[in-house]
Structure 1
């Protein structure tokens, strides 16, 4: 389960910060050279290298060489800071122009762009965005991503549903990929090495006659991929299946009387 979620702070204050409609509060005014953007950049750098748990107001203040109370004049708490971090990451996402390309290419590009986001910022994959940060980064991202579904005969609700389904898949894939990287790091072994170490024990305790399908399929998959779970293969397979499902929905909308 995600340990952090967006929009957990004061909504009014968060929106003011996201859209930069507020000035730092405090007695003697802002410190020269410090800004909301600088705070967000410092916090993001910490999260990228050490994880989101390492991001505290005290730690960010230390990175910026200010006392924590100075930081609070720019961002009131970590909840609002997280929204600012994620929205800034959204704003920096490349948004290549895919107009005129087949819709499958446009949708695949959206998936790949979000996968790249989670590779640049692994912490973002673990954040729940069921209540998204409604800042300019998110709105620009949403506008860009919806354009991949424009002109396909989908209703507005279907466009939103398709995009949500796609992004949920990408985020889940990113979390699974992060788990694989953590397992490899913690065990100091590749997946192939791990299976080589455990295969003899498994062969002794596993009755292949009791689990014939599992043994047959598991052996075939493991032989083909060198591991029980390959994040790249699973992502590519899942994306293809999503495109197939979208194609069926588009076809039904275009031909409502069709039997397909």
Structure 2
């Protein structure tokens, strides 16, 4: 009798509608659940960052195409190390929050270098990776428990921005420009706290972007030029961040 009932309701048991909602991947990946997926991408990273006591970060952007033998790579690595040593990522005791933890886009090149520098210091660092049509894998230096994979650029950007105490931008292309101008817009409009923004290698940045021309044509105010500082080596980046208000071992307001 039991076998007969099982056969009689086989179609109902096999129907996608009978799957538990949390276990139904077709449902979760459908259009109606896009908002839920946004929430999940926010909550998963948020939970892990809180568990590790990551209260604030220093975000490092730059090209994924920079090779290990390039000076930009070496300086990004050196900065990741010294910022981790001096900024508060190496907390003294269990339960004490970590500040100014290195956070990157999680990929190769400059991102790898900054994460690698944190490893050199024995500190954790964050990798906010993104799913791309041509698969991008995380670099081998971000802390495994703090290495995240996002589908939505918007949620990835939110996580990059929301804990940032500072932004350091090494030479890069479209992706680097996108992240830089996102943060500069938030600063210009007052939608983000007054965090310092430092560009590495003035010659590169002033050649590829004419910031002065933007002000001259009235596209930005003259005072907006003060949102950006420049530095030529890792020590110079750290000094410029401090001069612009970075507070080691302290969270953003």
TM-score, normalised by the number of residues in structure 2 = 0.25
The structure with the greater share of residues assigned to strand is 2
Q: Which has the larger radius of gyration?
A: 1
TM-score, normalised by the number of residues in structure 1 = 0.25
The structure with the greater share of residues assigned to helix is 1
